Amino acid sequence: MVKILNKMLYRIKKLYYSIRFYFYLYGFIGGMKFAVSLLKSGIEKIYYFNLCDDKLTITLVNPDLSFQIIESEKQFDNIYKDYVKIKGKLLAEEDRQRIISKNELLGVVYKDKIFVGWGWIKFGPLMYGNNKVLDNDCVIHKCRTLRTVRRHRVYATLLINMLNELHNGKTNLVFIGAKEFNIASLAAIEKVGFKFIEEFDSGNFIARITSHLKGFGTKVITYD
């Protein structure tokens, strides 16, 4: 019973810090608009990039931005102060465990030594929409850009560098998606060179929140 209560308490705390983080990310008005958009739609537009065949449509978008891939706990600790200021300790510690698991990588973007954006690379096997993501494939997800640097092409820079990083490994297909109402993200995804596959309904708002609190995110569902 105590274990169940502790789990419920943790998920409530996680929900609170997640909401606080999104309002920090978008501002109050932007956060309210984002929340309403999430309530209305769970439809993802899903894309892929074939590292063996596809070419980047653009290769350089903002020379003032720098990129780093985080693949070890030691590297994560080096950016921890910057990261925890934005996400808070609870969410940052959860992300540390994702790095330790060795199944995810974190890409971070800096502008003039200021932390401005990040995104995650999650390797298969898993399901992404109706697509089987195999051991040598991956999904780019949970990408975020601080509102102070919107329109500085942080997201496109992040995606280009992630794809270049993955070119050096054994990865074949890279999947990515964004909500149908997220016009800016969809435009960046297409501009980089990702190809559209499908629209996928990730369920009603409650189902997506439940999935998020369990650690699966709202669009990536792991399978055995």
Q: Give 10-residue mean pLDDT values along the chain (224 residues).
A: 74 80 82 75 90 92 93 96 92 93 93 94 91 93 91 93 89 93 94 95 72 58 52
> What per-residue confidence (pLDDT) applies to 13?
80
122 within some domain: yes
Q: Tokens 């919107």 sit at which residue?
A: 150
In a domain, 96, yes or no: yes
Domain membership flag for residue 30: no
Are 70 and 105 in contact by the 8 Å Cβ rule? The answer is yes
Residue 191's pLDDT is 96
Find the domain containing 46 and state its range: 42-222
Q: Backbone phi, then psi, for 49, in 5-degree steps?
A: -135, 125
pLDDT attached to residue 169:
76
Helix axes 205-213 and 2-40, enclosed angle (nearest 10):
140
The verdict on residue 25 lying in a domain is no
Q: How many CA atoms lie within 13 A of 103 on its CB side?
A: 12
CATH of the domain at 52: 3.40.630.30
Tokens of 20: 């606080």
Predicted TM-score (pTM) of the model is 0.88
Kindly state whether residue 152 falls inside one of the protein's structural domains. yes
Residue 92 lies in a domain: yes
Q: Domain tally for the chain?
A: 1
Q: Is 77 among the domain residues? A: yes
Would you say residue 13 lies in a domain?
A: no
